[in-house]
Amino acid sequence: MTNPVRPGSTAPQGYGSRSLAGRETTNLGDILERVLDRGVVIVGDIRVNLLDIELLTIKLRLLIASVDTARELGIDWWEHDPWLSSKDHDLIEENRRLRRRLTSLEEGEPGRIEAGTRSRVVREDRD
Amino acid sequence: MTEIGTYVYAIARDADSPDPSGLEGVAGAPVRTVEQAGLVAYVSAVPLDQFGEEPLRRSLENLDWVADTARAHHHVVETVSEAVATAPVRLVTVYTGEEQVGALLERRHDAIAEVLSRVAGRSEWGVKAYAEQVLSPPPSSGDDQGTENPGTAYLKRRQANLRDRNDAWRHAVGEAERVNAALAAVAVASRRHRPQDPELSGREEWMVLNGAYLVDDDRADEFATTLDALRGQGLDLELTGPWAPYSFTDIDLNEASDEL
């Protein structure tokens, strides 16, 4: 291995023969796990609900590492990682709650906030 | 006429922030800046018929679309972060207009400024560790066939193979912990991403470590030396970076959700 490069000087290290073309060859999985999982999370305007992103993240996680594979390896640290377990769950719950509220407000039926829209929201969540 | 939204890539301090001219974002749109409260957000206009809520739901199902968008997003983040301390924003963060982004910078100024201070003069490095998979040995030559029935012999062999495999896993995972601890000692902070599936990593070996380390730029050499010293001890170690500090710029979500 060589010395690390300073930001901006050359292509990143670690890609062996694939590094010549520069950063476009950076492993997609490496990018996805970074752009989806972390970074500043600022909730965009209502047009793009964070819930959508969370759903995507969950799907991609299935791709990034199947839980079975990792568990088979004896790696289960993410189950204790607040980012990957409870916090996500809380976030999804929070988004469901907000989505229900939004739906109710849009429908102009404030009385149905909790109960009335639940089943429809759950269906949406799954598609 | 298509409505236009504002896609946000990254936030930096206004001072020393690079000029985005010539930089292309998602869907090939030119990247612009929104300045407010001493912060600058790198943004581009996106058509809401692609980046509105309902179209995004469909787009996000399409992994090719996600891959293209992620690469375009990453390209902008990386370009900015090469010049200045940067807080990347998560993929597909879209506002209805630049005014809303300005208001966001104002509102979240303190939290963002704190994140930027944390990553200034530092870079993220990725280290993956791979262990050779232990494959089941070929069927036994049949030494034990005389006394045991074939079923029992098979089960015993299988049990022994599994034990070997488990031992190998445990050993590799233990080694990965050691590598992680050594690297984390040189880093300011460390995080572990979930190990990637072979389909994604493109490698058959077990990935037993997928770490991210925030390292002072003036300790980058020391980090690389530390990594090199850990090589040749069973695990194949792969270094990537420097990355924009994606793994170290998350802002508390509870605060964020208050805004809705």
Q: Residue B196 is nearest to which of A29, A36, A78, comparing CB atoms?
A: A29
The type of residue at B70 is A
| Separation CA A38–CA A83 (nearest Å) | 9
A58 interfacial to chain B (CB closer than 8 Å): no
Q: Is the pLDDT of residue B134 over 90?
A: no
- Please give the pLDDT value at position B140: 53
Q: What is the DSSP string of B61-100?
A: T-HHHHHHHHHHHHHHHHHHHHHS-EEEEEEEEEES-HHH
Confidence of residue A71 (pLDDT cuts 50, 70, 90): low
ipTM above 0.95, yes or no: no
Instruction: Please state, in angstroms and rounded to a whole number, the distance separating the CA atoms of residues A110 and B127.
Output: 51
| Side chain identity, residue B42 | Y
Q: Residues B235, B202: contact at Cβ < 8 Å? A: no
Beta strand B39-47 with B32-36 is: antiparallel
Is the CB of A40 inside 8 Å of chain B's CB atoms? Answer: yes
CB B127, CB A12: distance < 8 Å: no
Indicate if the pLDDT at residue A3 is higher than 90.
Answer: no
User: What are the pLDDT digits (tens) for B99-122?
Assistant: 999 999 999 999 999 999 999 999
Q: What is the residue range of B223's domain?
A: 123-247
d(CA B56, CA B51): 5
In this complex, which of B70, B241, B256 lies closest to A13 when CB atoms are compared? B241
Q: How many CB atoms lie within 10 A of CB A48?
A: 26
Structural domain total, chain B: 2
Same domain membership, residue A61 and residue A3: no
pLDDT in tens, A5-22: 333 333 344 333 333 333
Give CA B257 to chain center in angstroms: 23
Which of B120, B139, B173 is the last residue in one of the domains?
Answer: B120
Token reading at B29: 């749109």
pLDDT at A64: 52
Say whether both A35 and A58 belong to one domain: no
Q: Which amino acid is at A42?
A: I
Lowest pLDDT segment from A3-7, A95-99, B17-21: A3-7
- A112 lies in the same domain as A100: yes
On whether residue B11 sits in a domain, the answer given is yes
Amino acid type, A124: E
Provide the CATH number for the domain around residue B230. 3.30.70
Please give the pLDDT value at position A2: 39
Token pair listed for A14: 């670690």
The pLDDT tens digits of the residues spanning B41-61 come to 999 999 988 888 778 877 777
CA nearest B229 in A: which residue?
A1
Tokens of A45: 């305007």
User: Poorest-confidence range of A45-49, A87-91, B73-77, B139-143?
Assistant: A45-49
Nearest-by-CA chain A residue for B67: A28
- Residue A60 sits in which domain range? 42-126
> What are B83-101's pLDDT values in tens digits?
999 999 988 888 888 999 9
- Among A30, A70, A34, A25, residue whose Cα is nearest residue B197: A70
Q: How far is B125 from chain A (nearest CA, A)?
A: 9
Identify the weakest region by mean pLDDT among B73-77, B138-142, B237-241.
Answer: B138-142
- Scan residues 192-231 of B and list those with Cβ closer than 8 Å to A: 192-202, 206-208, 210, 212, 217, 220-221, 223-224, 227-228, 231
Q: Are A80 and A117 members of one domain?
A: yes
User: Domains in chain A: how many in total?
Assistant: 2
CB contact under 8 A, A36 and B91: yes
User: Are the CB atoms for B220 and B124 separated by under 8 Å?
Assistant: no
Same domain, A12 and A66: no
Instruction: Indicate yes or no: CB of B246 within 8 angstroms of CB of A34.
Output: yes
Indicate whether A81 pLDDT > 70: no
Tell me which residues of chain B, numbers 13 to 32, contact chain A at a CB-CB cutoff of 8 Å. none
Which of the listed residues B94, B120, B146 is the one where a domain comes to its end? B120
**Final residue in a domain of this structure, among B98, B120, B142:** B120
pLDDT-based confidence at residue A54 (cuts at 50, 70, 90): low
Whether B177 shows a pLDDT value over 80: the answer reads: yes
